[in-house]
Amino acid sequence: MGPIQERKHVHVTCAIIEKDDLVLAAQRSASMSLPLKWEFPGGKIDPDESCEECLQREIMEELGITVTISSALPSHTHCYTSFTVTLYPFICTIDKGEIVLHEHAAITWLAPEKLCELDWAEADLPVIETYLKDFVNPLSSR
């Protein structure tokens, strides 16, 4: 048997940033992979870096703010055609700073139930589903 082609697998944190009952969504720039898709901001975890450290670093790099992490959601793995991504989502609030876009084309603040109206990167969809079911409407799912 020949060697199996390993598909690239990236491990990425993402922030569900809450403010005044709204959630931040960020639109990827036209030059990024998955151009103009919406996502929760975050990025690749460096070696020797915890998920929480990565999230803090990436949010500062991408948005110029510091966040306070309140809780973690279950990780989720999604296979795109050219790579696999495992997302590690965290619910956060802004600690300090004003948002400045360093990488994204746009941001918007939406009520949680409106999140599904955007054109999301596929890997983020199960994160939204879990967030809505377990964190926004936990009583309605019982």
What per-residue confidence (pLDDT) applies to 7? Answer: 79
Q: Which two tokens stand for residue 20?
A: 């005044």
Distance, in Å, from the CA atom of 35 to the CA atom of 108, rounded to the nearest integer, reads 17
Residue 4: what pLDDT?
A: 58
The whole-number pLDDT of residue 1 equals 52
* Contact of 83 with 12, CB cutoff 8 Å: no
Contact between 42 and 51 (Cβ < 8 Å): no
> In the prediction, which pLDDT does 140 show?
54
Architecture, CATH, for domain 8-135: Alpha-Beta Complex (3.90)
* Confidence at residue 142, expressed as pLDDT on a 0 to 100 scale: 38
Domains in the chain: boundaries: 8-135
Residue 89: what pLDDT? 98
Residue by residue, pLDDT tens for the chain (142 residues) are 545 567 799 999 999 999 999 999 999 999 988 999 999 999 999 999 999 999 999 999 999 999 999 999 999 999 999 999 999 999 999 999 999 999 999 999 999 999 999 999 999 999 999 999 999 986 654 3
Q: What's the token pair of residue 8?
A: 């690239």
Helix (H, G, I), strand (E, B) or coil at 123: helix
pLDDT of residue 38: 98
SS3 content of the chain, % helix, strand, coil (to 5): 25, 40, 40
